[in-house]
Chains A and B, each alone.
Chain A
C-alpha cells in the first residue's frame, strides 16, 4: 500500500461536507453526494434484479417445475432484464461518472449541479413508477424488448407503467448525458487536454454522446407503442397499414448502442486500474481512445444483427454481418493493449486488479461468441436460444460483476475514506468468478442443443444437466455478491482509514483527500501528461534525491 501523503493538500475533511441529516442529502447538489445516491440506488436495483434472476433459475432448475406460473415468470423475466439494463448498468455508470468525472478533470463540480440532482431524482422516480405496476395489475410481461403486437396485447397497465417509467428514466439519462458532455468539454483544469483525459472520463464522454444520439429514438418508439395501446393508433398494427418491424428497427437502433453505453465505461474502469496495478502507463493511450470512439460510432450501424430471423433480404443480412464483425477489431485492440499494459509490469493483485483481469478473460469469451453470432447463418440457428443469453451475459454481465466490481473496490477508499477488507474481497472475487462461469457457460450448451430463451418451463430432459449447473452457479454467484455487500457495509464501520492515495494512482482524484472536501481540491498539481499523479511522485522523488546529494 502506498501511504504517501501530498502535504499541499488539506487533511481528510468530514464526510462529503455540508453536515449530516436526511435533508442535506435530499437538497444536495454536490456531485459526490449525488454520485453516492446514484450508487446506492442502482446497487439496490441490482439486488432486486438479482433476486428476479434467482427465481428464473430456480424455476428452470429441472423440467416441468411450477415454482411460479408462466404469467408470473414472464413478468419476472421482463423486469429482470429491464432492471439490470435501465435501473442498474446504465445508471451505475452515471453514478461513478458523477462522482469521478469532476475529480478526474480537476473541476469543482459538474457543469449544472441542480440539473444533476434532477437526473438522480428522475432515476429514482422512474424506477418507482415502473415498479408500482406490481401493486396494481402486475408488471409488464412482454420481455425487456417488448415487441408488438405482444406488448400491445399485454393486459392491464403494467406495460403502460413500463413505458412511462422508461420515458422518465430516458429523460434522467438524457439530461445527465448533456451534463457530462458540458462538464468534460468546458470544465477541465488548465493543462487537462483531451489527449491527457483519463480513460474513464473519455468513456463517459462517449457514453453521454451515445445516449444523446440514441435516446430520442427509443422515446419515439415507446410513444408510438403507448399510443397504439391506449389511443387506437396503428403504428405497429399491420391490419391498418402499420408495420410490426418498425418497432424492432427503432428499438434496436437505440438498444444496440446501449450495449456500448453500458460496456464502454466498464472498459474505462479497466483502463484506469490496469496501469496503476502494473506500475506502467497505459500501453497505447491513443489507440485505446480511438478504439473507444470507433466502437461508439460502429455501434450505430449494426442494430440489424438482432433481427437476422425477421426475413431481411440477403444484401441487408450481409451488411449487418460485416458491420457487426468489424466491431471485433477495435474491441480486440482494447484487449491487446490491456495485456500490453500488464506486460513487463510489476503486477499487484489487489482486489481491483483481480476483478479487472477476470473481466478481460471473460469478456474475451463473450467477444468471441459475438463474432460467431455476427455470422448470420450461425445466428439464424442460435438466435433466441440460450446461446445468445450466454453471449450477452459474458459481454454485459461481466461489465457489472467484474468491471463495476473492480471500480467499486478501486474507488471505495476514495468515496468513503475507508479500506475494504482485502482478504474478504479476494475471496468474494473467486466465489463470483466460479459462480459466474457455472451460471453462464452451460447456457452455450443449452442453446446449441435447442433450448429457446424466455420459456417458462421445458420437458426436454437433455437440457436438464445444463440447467442444474446454471442454477447451482447462480446461487454461488449470489453468495459472492452478498460477500461484497457485507464487505462494503462492515468496512464503513471499520477503523481501516484510507489515505488520499492508497494505490499509487495516476489520475487527479488521488491528489485530494479521501473522501474529498466539498470543494474537491485546495490546489491542483501541474498537468503535463495523462498521469499527473505519476509526475507529482516522480518530481518529489527527484527532489528528495537532490536534497540528499
Chain B
C-alpha cells in the first residue's frame, strides 16, 4: 500500500497535470469533457485516500508480531447491519452526484453538432488513412490534413470502407468509430488556431500505428480563401 501511494505520488503529477487531454482542451466539447473528468477524478482520489488510508491504518494498527505469545481471541463480530447499510447508501449518493453532474455537462460535451451553421465534413476511413470531403465536394489540398475554421461547429460524418477504425484527435473531439455500413457522427468547435494530432483508435491491422490524423485550425478568412483555392 505504501508503495502504491509513493508510486501514485510519483506518477500522478505528470499524468494528471495533462488532465484528460494532452494539450489544453482546444474545443468546447473537450472542455466540458474535461470538467466531467476532473469531477470524477477528484471524487475517485478522495475515495482512494479515505478507503486506502483506512485499509493501511487497519493493516498497521491491528498487526501482530510473530512470537508475541498466546493472546486472547479478538472480539468475534459477525457484522453490523447499520454500518453495512451505511456503506451501501453513501456510495449510491456519491455515484448519483457524479451522474447528476455528468447530465449537467452532457449538453456541452455532446459531440454531435446540432447547429444549423455547422460545417459538414464527410470522412471515409480505410486501411490506413482517413480521407475528407468538404460540403462543396472538394478534398483538402493535402489529403491527409484536414483544414477547418476556428470557432465554427464542425460536423464529422464518418464511415469505413473496409474494417473498423476510429477517428480521434484527443484535444478536439471524443472518439467515434468508423464502421462499414453505418454512418456515425461526431463534431467539435475548435477554440484555438493551431495544428492538432491524433491517430486511429480502433485496432485495424498491422498498419494501425501508422494511421495518423492531422487537423489544421485556421482563422475564418484564411479558411474561406483556402476553400476557394481547392480544385
Which residues, 13 to 63 on B, are CB-close (under 8 Å) to A? 14-16, 18-22, 30, 32-33, 36-37, 40-41, 43-44, 47-48, 51-52, 54-56, 58-59, 62-63
CA distance A436 to B101 in the complex (A): 33
A71 touches B206 (CB 8 A): yes
- Contacting residue for A335 out of B18, B51, B59, CB 8 A: B51
- Contacting residue for A339 out of B54, B102, B181, CB 8 A: B54
- By a CB distance below 8 angstroms, the chain B residues around A339 are 51, 54-55, 58
B20 touches A245 (CB 8 A): no
B122: interface (CB < 8 Å):
no
- Known contacts A70-B206, A325-B99: A332-B91 contact under CB 8 Å: yes
A238 touches B87 (CB 8 A): no
- Closest Cβ of chain B to A286, distance in Å, is 7
A381 touches B76 (CB 8 A): no
- Closest Cβ of chain B to A516, distance in Å, is 27
Binds B, one of A115-123, A210-218, A440-448, A518-526: A440-448
- By a CB distance below 8 angstroms, the chain A residues around B74 are 278-280, 344-346
A384 touches B202 (CB 8 A): yes
- Contacting residue for B164 out of A244, A375, A381, CB 8 A: A244
Band of interface residues on A: 35 or more
- By a CB distance below 8 angstroms, the chain B residues around A377 are 32-33, 36, 102, 105-106, 109, 174
A11: interface (CB < 8 Å):
no
Closest residue of chain B to A463 (Cβ to Cβ) is: B22
Binds A, one of B4-12, B130-138, B146-154, B219-227: B4-12
- Known contacts A311-B184, A377-B174: A333-B44 contact under CB 8 Å: no
A196: interface (CB < 8 Å):
no
CA distance A107 to B168 in the complex (A): 56
A26: interface (CB < 8 Å):
no
Which residues, 67 to 102 on B, are CB-close (under 8 Å) to A? 71, 73-80, 83-84, 87-88, 91-92, 95, 98-99, 102
- Known contacts A340-B83, A380-B174: A445-B11 contact under CB 8 Å: yes
Which residues, 306 to 342 on A, are CB-close (under 8 Å) to B? 309-311, 314, 321-322, 325-326, 328-329, 332-333, 335-337, 339-340, 342
A381 touches B52 (CB 8 A): no
- Known contacts A284-B84, A345-B62: A381-B174 contact under CB 8 Å: yes
B4 touches A362 (CB 8 A): yes
- Closest Cβ of chain A to B52, distance in Å, is 6
A343 touches B84 (CB 8 A): no
- Contacting residue for A378 out of B20, B22, B48, B75, CB 8 A: B20
CA distance A380 to B109 in the complex (A): 10
- By a CB distance below 8 angstroms, the chain B residues around A385 are 201
CA distance A456 to B199 in the complex (A): 13
B58 touches A343 (CB 8 A): yes
- Closest Cβ of chain B to A291, distance in Å, is 9
- Closest Cβ of chain B to A65, distance in Å, is 11
- Contacting residue for A452 out of B20, B98, B200, CB 8 A: B200
* 17 additional contacts (CB under 8 A) given A333-B87, A342-B58: A70-B208, A73-B206, A150-B164, A150-B203, A279-B73, A309-B175, A314-B106, A329-B92, A347-B62, A371-B95, A384-B202, A437-B3, A445-B18, A450-B170, A453-B203, A454-B208, A455-B199
* Sampled A-B contacts (28; CB under 8 Å): A149-B162, A150-B163, A150-B164, A283-B80, A285-B79, A309-B177, A311-B179, A314-B106, A322-B99, A329-B95, A337-B84, A339-B54, A342-B62, A343-B62, A346-B62, A346-B64, A346-B71, A347-B62, A357-B55, A361-B4, A375-B40, A375-B98, A377-B102, A381-B175, A384-B203, A441-B11, A450-B170, A452-B201
Footprint of A on B, CB under 8 Å?
1, 3-4, 7-8, 11, 14-16, 18-22, 30, 32-33, 36-37, 40-41, 43-44, 47-48, 51-52, 54-56, 58-59, 62-64, 66, 71, 73-80, 83-84, 87-88, 91-92, 95, 98-99, 102, 105-106, 109-111, 162-164, 166, 168, 170, 174-177, 179-182, 184-185, 198-209
Footprint of B on A, CB under 8 Å?
69-71, 73-74, 141-143, 147, 149-150, 153, 238-239, 242-245, 278-287, 309-311, 314, 321-322, 325-326, 328-329, 332-333, 335-337, 339-340, 342-349, 357-358, 360-362, 364-365, 368-369, 371-372, 375, 377-378, 380-385, 430, 433-434, 437-438, 441-442, 444-445, 448-450, 452-458, 462, 465-466, 469
